[in-house]
Structure 1
Amino acid sequence: MTLYRWDERSLVFFLTVGRLSGEGVQLEVAVHSPLGTFAEQRFDELWQQSKPIERFTHLPLTQVDATDGRREFSCRFVYVDDCLYVAGHDLVSYMARHRLDQLSAYSEALTAADAHELIVVDDESELHGLLMQRFAEKYDASAGAFVELRPPVLVTE
């Protein structure tokens, strides 16, 4: 929903699934009318559940090296086939200077709390082309290299 308020009036629009926002009707209502009160309460409920846009555009990532310790990154990311891929020049540069078999990554934003394996995506693969496309759609920007964050394999007995 959108809600614009001035003095004792509001302009309310309830967004509908499958329709563009410009295709709907905006209602001008008195703030203290039943509809105005409902709209303001609903807006407050939604606002309390909101999350910063950064949470959907950047993934905080801690890279751990067995010899040098920890380094913090904030990476742009995309998903393809339920796999998470990050892009970041500083991350890839850091990986190039360290042994890959000694690197792992953690993030509070990831579902698995254990270390994730870092796998560089071959820049000549079809997957790389798809990642570039998805990245451009999400960020209106390009990225040169992608790294898959592969969750740990769960062993069941």
Structure 2
Amino acid sequence: MKLGDGVEAAIHCAATLASVDGNSTMPGAALAECFGLSPSYLLKHLNQLTAARILESVPGPAGGYRLARAAELITLLDIVLAVEGREPAFRCGEIRQRGPVKIDASAYVKPCGINAAMLKAERAYRAALAEVKLSDIVAEYAAEGDPRSYAASCAFVERHQRPQKPASSKQT
């Protein structure tokens, strides 16, 4: 099974946004620059993450993206499903019931063993991704990543994040 390149980009962007201060945002163009990606390519994946309520998109000249919920509440499975969709990676087409060796449909009362095995593997894979929180990835990088890489990432976020003004309270 091969996941699309968008999954890697989405996870890296979400991890980067986990480092943004408070309710600040980071522009999509800065995220694309950070990872050497085409802004139009990345925008597609940022939109998928926004639609899945993993990211929040803030409009306007000082807008950008930020996490829609705490990094502790976002799993790698959430991100993978947002980008790749909820369908299983393996889709059984019941090809055993086609071709010159097919027999009457009544011979196929038991589920396809190949499909059952592949769906079992899919469940295990998804369970493993559901156990890993975005906050775990960020904490591990901070603790075990090369200090130069970590410092450069923090400096990039600091330069490109956009502080948001607090919502003004209307007085009546």
| TM-score past 0.5 threshold | no
The structure carrying a bigger helix percent of its residues is 2
Q: Identify the structure with bigger relative contact order (alpha carbons < 8 Å, sequence gap 6+).
A: 2
After TM superposition, the score normalised by the length of structure 2 is: 0.23
